Amino acid sequence: MPELPEVETVRRQLQPLIAGREIVGFKLLPGAERLLRGRSDAEIDSQLRGCAFTTVGRRGKYLGLNLDNEQVVVVHLRMTGSLRFRPRGYEAEPFTRAVFDLDRGDQLRFVDVRKFGTIDLVDQMEEAMPELGPEPLSDDFTPEAMWQALRGRQQPIKAALLDQRNIAGIGNIYADEALFLSRLNPEAPAGSLRPAERRALHAAIQQTLRDGVAHGGASFRDYTDVDGAEGEQQYFVRVFRRTDEPCDDCSATIRRIIVGGRATHFCPRCQPVRQRTRTVKSTRPPRAKNARDTLKP
Ligand SMILES: [Zn+2]
């Protein structure tokens, strides 16, 4: 499923391609009625016709294609959706579900094997989205903001990262990678993180997402960009879908478990279950302050 880096890659590609381009028609292909969530393509066509795209925004995994009539086309790629920018005569992609006809003979095509993607035409992007947590690559996403979203939560940290109400845009790939980078066990309760662990997780979330954007997203199965090309982040993952392979850092065998109903990949040695803080006082004598003290008589 496209996550923040994949959707951001699409946003960056689309912006220069469609900015200022007029929509001369919109149509659904047969069988794609669910894409518009109950609205007809004739209705959307009549509203879009003559409008031009201005900028392309993103919130979490949602794209917002802004129009010069102040409305916005909100696109959610969901499982297998992708957008293609093509000249009208370019061969049709299989599973094309909707087509925006643009001026100068170009098309923006929505392609989706599984048909879970959605397109909404609304006045404000929020109208087409559920409540979302903070944007993890924004200036507002400080370690404190991350902790505000996670504190008090007893669910495993892996599940908490996937919940879009906590933090927007993180999916299975980048959650597993961020937990590996921060050396956190995916089943640790989200609200149990200590200050140093929070700082490590915050840094790891931002690093994994930035790396994903820098590599044009990850193409494990379905994700492709607006030109139909694959990203490269799949060549850089440390644990995701590397079950039974050796960990890059310690050579232990990467394991796959299910957390919160989702496949989860981690290194049991780099990401151990944390020992509980000891409450029984040690009976060993206190260690000498300076190692030399124990050597010299
Ligand atoms: Zn390891």
Residues with CB under 5 A from ligand 1 (ion): 247, 249-250, 252, 267, 269-270
153, 256, 262, 274: which is the annotated catalytic residue? 262
State pLDDT tens for residues 4-29.
999 999 999 999 999 999 999 999 99
What digits encode the pLDDT tens for the residues 46-102?
A: 999 999 999 999 999 999 999 999 999 999 999 999 999 999 999 999 999 999 999
Q: 6: part of which helix (H) or strand (E)?
A: helix 4-18
Active site residue 61: yes
Burial of 26 (0-12, 13-18, 19+ CB in 10 A): buried
Domain membership flag for residue 274: no
d(CA 95, CA 97): 6
pLDDT reading at 177 higher than 90: yes
Q: Which two tokens stand for residue 162?
A: 């996937």
Residue 155's CATH number: 1.10.8.50
Adjacent-strand bridge partners of 224? none
Return the percent helix, strand and coil in the chain, to nearest 5: 30, 20, 50
Average of per-residue pLDDT across 138-146: 97
The per-residue pLDDT for 292 is: 45
Model-level pTM?
A: 0.90
Going from the C-alpha of 155 to that of each of 94, 114, 189, 191, 215, the distances in angstroms are 40, 30, 5, 8, 31
Residue 62 lies in a domain: yes
Centre of ligand 1 to C-alpha 239, Å, is: 9
Within-domain flag for 276 = no
What is the count of structural domains for the chain?
A: 2
Find the catalytic residue in 3, 8, 135, 187: 3
| Dihedral sign (CA 157, 158, 161, 165) | negative
Structure confidence by residue, pLDDT tens digits, 218-276 = 998 779 999 999 999 999 999 999 999 999 999 999 999 999 999 999 999 999 997 66
Annotation says 3 is catalytic = yes
Residue 62, pLDDT score: 98
Residue 147 and residue 124 share a domain? no
Centre of ligand 1 from the C-alpha of residue 269, in Å: 5
Residues 84, 124, single domain; the answer is yes
| Position 281 in a domain | no
Mean pLDDT of 189-210: 97
* Of 60, 35, 54, the residue nearest 121 (C-alpha): 35
pLDDT surpassing 90 at residue 215: yes
What pLDDT was estimated at residue 276? 60
CA dist 157 to 146, 171, 183, 247, 273, Å? 12, 13, 12, 21, 12
185 part of a folded domain: yes
Burial of 57 (0-12, 13-18, 19+ CB in 10 A): middle
pLDDT tops 90 at residue 283? no
Residues 6+ apart with CB under 8 A from 115: 31, 32, 34, 35, 97
Residue 274 confidence (pLDDT): 79
Q: Evaluate whether residue 280 is within a structural domain.
A: no
| Residue 91 sits in the same domain as residue 120 | yes
Is 221 designated active site? no
Q: What is the pLDDT of residue 284?
A: 53
Q: Is residue 133 part of a domain?
A: no
The domain boundary residue, chosen from 70, 100, 128: 128
* Mean pLDDT, rounded, of the chain: 92
Same domain, 81 and 38: yes
Query: Is residue 158 among the annotated active site residues?
Result: no
Q: In the prediction, which pLDDT does 164 show? A: 97
Residues 21 and 108 in one domain: yes
CA distance 144 to 148: 6
**Is residue 75 domain-shared with residue 181, that is, in the same domain?**
no
Instruction: Give the pLDDT band (50/70/90) at residue 31.
Output: confident
Structural domain boundaries, residue 170: 143-266
What is the CA(235)–ligand 1 centre distance, in A?
18
Structural domain contains residue 236: yes
pLDDT over threshold 90, residue 277: no
pLDDT at 288 over 70: no
Give the CB-side neighbour count of residue 145, counting CA atoms within 13 A: 15
At residue 290, does pLDDT exceed 90?
A: no
User: Domain of 70: which CATH number?
Assistant: 3.20.190.10
**Do 8 and 70 fall within a single domain?**
yes
